[in-house]
A and B are shown apart, each in its own frame.
Chain A
């Protein structure tokens, strides 16, 4: 038991990096998901073309390969970046591509009649999107966004493979020095589980807050 207290500083600093990665990538993913999701719905090929490419490439290859590609290949094209930056960028872009499909589905789930009612009140197209459609889509986005956030949290473990010292990496280090595999990886799994539970809890609270919107 006292051993575990000895590991604590290491695990906590790893946990901090994991949280930083999760939050940082969320800030990349949200605007990407919104922009690509809406562009995907546009009839203008200059919008949906790039959006489809982005979505298909990032959903079609695996996050780990994207990570290695950004970290080892992009420098050849003159884009040198720190491991942590590459990690946040790739995880954010990856989840953003999945999020774009969520945004698209949510916007499409708003009934046609809402557009008609907005038109009858003479709202402009921009106003209709901003005031009528997106706020309703937001409510439909919440549950799948919660799942994506958990997927994001899980995928932060991948960056341990490009030497970022987050939770999983610290676990690897501790295991190498103590050989207590069961305890160390057991604790780490539980920590991830608790983080995921708190995400689920937070999203449920948000859903309840917006439950009045349900028709």
Chain B
């Protein structure tokens, strides 16, 4: 299924199962993502796309299977076995390689924009305050919000909040960035400004990026690989051209038809 490169996969999920109560969200999921690739996860809501991101960010555990990041095991659970206790140190080390931007921004409302961005670099990565601030300004510039350094989240528009959230995640210098429906809570014109930031980012960095989105047009131009999911399994994957122009599976076709007609 996947093209075996010489490169080691940045993300590797093997036979991952996850359910919430009786509802199985991920069923025996297998996939790998090579470093520097930009991958978009698409599919109807409830298909398990966001759960994948949340597992990679250690916000959810798994029921069984194996999850590896940069060749290091994050989770490994045998079927039916109790979840193993993970050493916080180990998880924290792997977690440092991953950054995430959320649908609801989740900025810290009691901190200025600058502190939102510098707090983790200073207190988690332990770099100096001056360096953190210099870096923060760089990233704020990148997302076009250098003039909002001293503002508080409550004073920003939704689109601006999301751009700060992107800068905040970037400031931790992760190798892998996860974007979880980051424009779903935004009006179209505000979504456009966030997407344009993302587009630039995708072009200029070699970070691995995994994006969950409902905006097919954006997925098409952002990603070099598309994964279509439904009911907790991968139905089809491939290049954007292949998925959008000649989808093999009937389920992919009917999904794309419904979504593209609606927009």
Contacts and interface: CB of A to CB of B under 8 A. Distances in A.
A121 B102 CA distance: 12
Contacts of A50: none
A26 interface: no
A114 B123 contact: no
Nearest to B165: A117
B157 interface: no
B154 A120 contact: no
A215 B161 CA distance: 11
B49 interface: no
A116 B180 CA distance: 13
B58 interface: yes
B187 to A, nearest CB: 18
A215 B102 contact: no
Contact of B95 (A122, A139, A214): A122
A3 interface: no
A131 interface: yes
A206 to B, nearest CB: 14
Interface string A96-136: 00000000000000000110110111111001000110011
Please classify how large the interface on chain B is, using the bins under 10, 10 to 19, 20 to 34, 35 or more: 20 to 34
A33 to B, nearest CB: 20
A139 B57 CA distance: 29
Interface in B148-183: 152-155, 168-169, 172
A213 B154 contact: yes
A119 B154 contact: no
B102 A116 contact: yes
A212 interface: yes
A197 B109 CA distance: 30
A179 B66 CA distance: 85
Given A113-B102, A132-B108, A214-B109, A119 B59 contact: yes
A126 B104 CA distance: 24
Interface string B91-128: 01001101110101011111000000001100110000
B154 A121 contact: no
B124 A213 contact: no
A136 B98 CA distance: 26
Q: Which of B92, B104, B123 has the most CB of A within 10 A?
A: B123
A210 B88 CA distance: 34
Given A131-B119, A213-B152, A213-B154, A123 B106 contact: no
B200 to A, nearest CB: 22
A129 to B, nearest CB: 13
A36 to B, nearest CB: 24
B110 A120 contact: no
Given A114-B108, A212-B152, A213-B110, A119 B119 contact: no
B212 to A, nearest CB: 15
A116 B59 contact: yes
A121 B172 contact: yes
Given A116-B59, A120-B99, A214 B124 contact: no
A103 to B, nearest CB: 16
B120 A122 contact: yes
Nearest to B151: A212
Interface of B: 57-59, 88, 92, 95-96, 98-100, 102, 104, 106-110, 119-120, 123-124, 152-155, 168-169, 172
Interface of A: 113-114, 116-117, 119-124, 127, 131-132, 135-136, 139, 210, 212-215
29 contacts: A113-B104, A113-B106, A114-B106, A116-B102, A117-B102, A117-B107, A117-B108, A119-B58, A119-B95, A120-B57, A120-B100, A120-B102, A121-B119, A121-B168, A121-B169, A122-B92, A122-B95, A122-B96, A122-B120, A122-B172, A123-B124, A127-B124, A136-B108, A136-B109, A136-B110, A213-B109, A213-B110, A215-B109, A215-B153
